Amino acid sequence: LPDGEPVGIRTTSVLVENVEQVLRQYAAEVEAEMATIVEDEVADTWMRQAIGYHLGWLDADFRPLNEEVGRSGGKKLRPALAILSYRAAALGPHGRAWLADDLSRVLPFAAALELLHNYTLIHDDIQDDDRTRRGRPTLWTICGTAQAINVGNCLHAISLHCLERLANRGFDAADVARLSAALAHASVELAIGQRRDLAFENEQDVGPGVYLEMVAGKTAGLLRCASYGGALLATDGSRPGAAKSLTAFGEFGMHLGLAFQIRDDVLGIWGAEEDTGKPSGSDIRRRKKSLPIIFALQAASEEAFEQLSALYSLGGELTTSEEACVRRILGSCAAAALAQSQAEEQRERALSALGWAAGNGETLRTNPFLANLAELADFVTHRSS
Ligand code: IPE
Ligand code: IPE
Ligand code: MG
Ligand code: MG
């Protein structure tokens, strides 16, 4: 980003209730868009039902779940990031202001992000051998890994179909093509990030730098795409400064994504299963090089370091007593606080990029969606679920 003073975006308090309301409100609209695209594009009944199971619409016998939106279907963070960036950019200095309240136009993109995200979750649970997600058995435990891979592939392909709908909602072909390219790029980076994440399980020298590069691929790239893409749809690219603003929206999403994944690493060890919906400690048992472990390997006493590196060079899953030993070492060198402070740093960087995205003279007072985006950065950094 260019040198000089950005317009500062600073939040004074963590307005978690507020942003959670925003997430819930958008989630319902995004789910409705997702449901129609699944209905339109997937002719096979079993495939539709398996998708419905994973998305929290159906139970394991493929009967309707009728739960409150979001309970078994995830937080819908990526759609919210896209919608808020779209609305914030519409009201910004390069924006098409009339779009700010017309959510129907951005919903296909929001749904595409969520469908693509869910494909990655289905495959990730196979790769990580995790049996629980969103408080329910993972899809592969219901239908086997081979069929779950097919369901994931199907969701990935449907997400591309979603973008075709943008042409019918008033966007020109050039913008849709740029968005498709951005989404495809994020998907390639994501696969590479996942490859590196798995490879790190068997590598000894994983430092914070390569960890952040890996997370930029596996998680933050899609959040960058969400923020950039949402803003792109609402921006008049011919206005001076528009390109710089779009880059800054992307940077905002990237740093928010890094904060989000670091917080996920912290919750993976110290979070409560009833909040996260995921098994606590599975990252440790799998010997994942999550950020608290990487920091502990740097900050532990010599003796603890030897113990930790010996445990992390073993093959297979760690036992319960080995997990307890890792937890003691993490506690002894304040690894949670070290990782959390890195999440806070990424949040700061996100807020600074948001200042640039807003353009000079834009304030939180006149653009409520910028305030919501700043709150979203707080939420991902401090969340418990
Ligand atoms: C989980 O993402 C996977 C990561 C990138 C850490 P979310 O925490 O956004 O998952 P859901 O959709 O809300 O369940
Ligand atoms: C998150 O993977 C990234 C993707 C799903 C692509 P993780 O393995 O770190 O996340 P959880 O903890 O299973 O959700
Ligand atoms: Mg996983
Ligand atoms: Mg994983």
> What average pLDDT is seen over the chain?
93
Are the CB atoms for 260 and 222 separated by under 8 Å?
no
Which ligand 2 atom lies nearest to the CA of residue 128? 8
User: Is the pLDDT at 6 greater than 70, yes or no?
Assistant: no
Phi, psi at 282, each rounded to 5°? -65, -30
Nearest to 200 by CA among 126, 263, 306, 294: 294
CA 94–ligand 1 middle distance (angstroms):
31
Q: Which residues have their alpha-adjacent CB atom under 5 A from ion ligand 3?
A: 124, 128
CA 236–ligand 1 middle distance (angstroms):
32
* Start-to-end Cα distance in the chain: 32
Query: Residue 368 corresponds to which tokens in the numbers above?
Result: 């409520």
Which residues have CB under 8 Å from 293's CB, separation 6+? 283, 284, 308, 312, 326, 330, 335
What is the tens place of the pLDDT at every residue in 218-264?
Answer: 999 999 999 999 999 999 999 999 999 999 999 999 999 999 999 99
CA distance 40 to 43: 8
Nearest ligand, CA 385: 1
How much is the pLDDT for 315? 81
CA 2–ligand 2 middle distance (angstroms):
33
Nearest ligand, CA 380: 1
What is the tens place of the pLDDT at every residue in 297-351?
Answer: 999 999 999 999 999 987 889 999 999 999 999 999 999 999 999 999 999 999 9
Work out whether strand 136-137 and strand 132-133 pair parallel, antiparallel, or are unpaired. Answer: antiparallel
Q: Is the CB of 118 under 6 A from ligand 2?
A: no
CA distance 59 to 50: 10
Beta bridge partners of 235: 95
Which ligand 1 atom lies nearest to the CA of residue 277? 14
Rounded to an integer, the average pLDDT of 361-365 is 62
Which ligand 2 atom lies nearest to the CA of residue 121? 5
H helical segments located in 55-138? 77-90, 107-127
Lowest-pLDDT range, 46-50, 72-76, 112-116, 151-155? Answer: 72-76
Which ligand 1 atom lies nearest to the CA of residue 117? 12
How much is the pLDDT for 172? 92
In the block, residue with structure tokens 């959670």? 20
CA 340–ligand 1 middle distance (angstroms):
18
Beta bridge partners of 137: 132
CA 92–ligand 1 middle distance (angstroms):
29
What is the tens place of the pLDDT at every residue in 164-198?
Answer: 999 999 999 999 999 999 999 999 999 999 999 99
Which residues have CB under 8 Å from 140's CB, separation 6+? 122, 125, 126, 148
CA 236–ligand 3 middle distance (angstroms):
38
> Max CA-CA distance within the chain?
63
How much is the pLDDT for 5? 41
199: pLDDT confidence band, cut at 50, 70 and 90? very high
Of residues 364 and 302, the one with the higher pLDDT is 302
Residue type, 116: L
CA distance 215 to 208: 10
What is the tens place of the pLDDT at every residue in 76-119?
Answer: 999 999 999 999 999 999 999 999 999 999 999 999 999 999 99
User: Is the pLDDT at 66 greater than 90, yes or no?
Assistant: no
Are the CB atoms for 78 and 70 separated by under 8 Å?
no
As for ligand 1, residues whose beta carbon falls within 6 Å of it are 74-75, 77, 134, 219, 261, 264
User: Is the pLDDT at 14 greater than 60, yes or no?
Assistant: no
| DSSP single-letter state for residue 133 | E
Query: Residue 95 corresponds to which tokens in the numbers above?
Result: 């924006």
Which ligand 1 atom lies nearest to the CA of residue 264? 6
What is the secondary structure of 281-347 as a DSSP string?
THHHHTT---HHHHHHHHHS-HHHHHHHHHHHTSSSPPPHHHHHHHHHHHHHTTHHHHHHHHHHHHH
How much is the pLDDT for 222? 99
CB-CB neighbours of 322 under 10 Å: 18
In the block, residue with structure tokens 């807020």? 351
CA 239–ligand 1 middle distance (angstroms):
35
2: pLDDT confidence band, cut at 50, 70 and 90? very low
What is the tens place of the pLDDT at every residue in 20-37?
Answer: 889 999 999 999 999 999
